[in-house]
């Protein structure tokens, strides 16, 4: 019997390690980065299709409890599917109709504020002259502004918002097919759990977190919309229904949704009643939205989202760049989906949740090895 030399053993283990890593790790990183860039570029190129698909998926996830509740009461699965579809269809069609009608009314009424717009510019011009700004510079700076351009800007913004529902027929058709598949999703997930429990865990966590986020955001969005609409109506700001609807929709946009919903009514209040009315609009919006969105709502949705403020903002920028306005509205659910597919699906990568979460990791047990045994 011959003993193998230590050097030979090390050489053998080294050769085995080199065989396991035939491709250098640096090259693997570069390939992954290149594949990521290609995937993002493809998603951006097909945003017109991917956006409605994600919207339909999120709506089906939000409405799935209706179908499940009806099935538990002994009704056929198709009855629950139809009930969930009717609810989602009514919500989508109602939002689209309200946006179209309100935007048309706004475009018709804005030219009537041309005199107020001119008066406002005269005040701004006088204020700048008091601070010693040259008259010619003032004329050059303000010459490009007029009520017509303001109308064009607001109309373009509303068209962008209405563009969320531009593929409405496509979304409605997708909802029908997804709701039909949803009748058997429970059995399918049960099969997946038996074959790949980690994948089933990741998908179940994503669905539960997304559903809770959408439901809570919808409830608090309605609260904010009612408060803002009533406040604007009491201040006699034109089109309070439109601005309340805008507050509801922008509630789904993290971090900057409140600002987007505030700018149009504040500008219209400035044209309609001067700086005083605009200040009142800003103050009331800040009180209502900060109280609801920054104090109350995070307590209910924080456990479902579990994303840090930085990650939330970066997800908003990224998905808005990739999918446009629809990406901004669905930034949080899309980030939860990406987290489930990239991190939660593999136990070896779940440690990434600690880095992107807004919750601190569980505290480690206290080390008592040096403690006095008598104590």
**181 part of a folded domain:** yes
| Residue 135 belongs to some domain of the structure | yes
> Would 29 be classed as within a structural domain?
no
Domain assignment of residue 5, yes or no? no
Is 334 part of any domain?
yes
Considering its fold, how many domains does the chain have in total?
1
Domain residues for the domain of 76 are 47-356
**Domain-embedded: residue 15:** no
Full DSSP string of 117-136: HHHHHHHHHHHHHHTT--HH
Give the span between the Cα atoms of 192 and 172, in whole angstroms. 28
pLDDT tens for each residue of the chain, 375 residues long: 455 555 554 544 444 444 555 677 777 778 878 888 888 888 888 887 888 888 888 888 888 888 878 878 878 878 878 888 888 888 888 877 777 777 777 767 766 666 666 676 666 667 666 666 655 665 555 555 555 565 566 666 656 555 555 567 778 888 888 877 777 777 777 787 788 888 888 888 888 888 888 888 888 888 888 988 898 899 888 888 888 888 888 888 877 778 888 888 888 888 777 788 888 988 888 888 777 766 676 666 655 577 777 888 888 889 888 888 788 888 888 888 888 888 888 777 777 777 777 655 554 444 444 444 444
CA–CA separation, 148 vs 151, rounded Å? 5
- Burial class of residue 360 in the structure, from the number of CB atoms within 10 Å of its CB (0-12 exposed, 13-18 middle, 19+ buried): exposed
Q: Specify if 372 maps to a domain.
A: no
Answer yes or no: is 25 within a domain. Answer: no
For residues 117 and 353, give the distance between their C-alpha atoms in angstroms, rounded to a whole number: 51
């Amino acid at each position: 019997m011959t003993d193998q030399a230590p050097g030979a053993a090390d050489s053998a283990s080294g050769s085995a390690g080199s065989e396991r890593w035939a491709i250098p790790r640096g090259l693997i990183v570069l390939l992954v980065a290149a594949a990521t860039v290609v995937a993002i570029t493809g998603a951006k190129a097909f945003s017109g299709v991917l956006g409605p698909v994600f919207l339909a998926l999120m709506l089906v996830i939000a409405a799935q409890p209706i179908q499940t509740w009806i099935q538990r009461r002994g009704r056929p699965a198709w009855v629950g599917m139809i009930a969930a579809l009717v609810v989602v269809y009514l919500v989508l069609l109602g939002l689209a109709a309200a946006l179209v009608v309100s935007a048309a009314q706004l475009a018709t009424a804005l030219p009537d504020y041309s005199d107020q717009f001119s008066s406002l510019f005269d005040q701004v011009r006088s204020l700048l002259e008091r601070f010693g700004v040259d008259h010619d510079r003032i004329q050059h700076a303000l010459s490009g502004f007029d009520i017509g351009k303001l109308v064009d800007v607001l109309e373009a913004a509303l068209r962008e918002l209405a563009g969320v529902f531009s593929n409405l027929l496509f979304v409605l058709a997708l909802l029908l097919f997804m709701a039909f598949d949803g009748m058997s999703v429970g059995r399918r997930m049960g099969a997946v759990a038996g074959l790949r429990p980690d994948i089933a865990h990741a998908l179940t966590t994503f669905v539960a977190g997304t559903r809770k986020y959408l439901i809570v955001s919808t409830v608090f969005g309605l609260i904010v919309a009612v408060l803002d609409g009533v406040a604007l109506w009491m201040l006699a700001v034109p089109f309070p229904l439109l601005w309340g609807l805008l507050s509801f929709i922008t509630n789904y946009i993290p971090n900057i949704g409140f600002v987007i919903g505030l700018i149009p009514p504040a500008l219209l209040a400035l044209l309609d009643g001067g700086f005083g009315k605009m200040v009142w609009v800003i103050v009331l919006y800040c009180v209502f939205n900060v109280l609801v969105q920054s104090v109350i709502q995070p307590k209910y949705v924080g456990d479902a989202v579990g994303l840090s403020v930085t990650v939330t903002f970066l997800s908003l920028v990224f998905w808005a760049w990739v999918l446009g306005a629809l990406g901004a509205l669905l930034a949080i659910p899309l980030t939860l989906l990406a987290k489930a597919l990239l991190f939660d699906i593999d136990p070896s990568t779940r440690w990434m949740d600690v880095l992107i979460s807004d919750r601190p990791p569980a505290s480690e047990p206290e080390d008592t090895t040096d403690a006095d045994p008598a104590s």
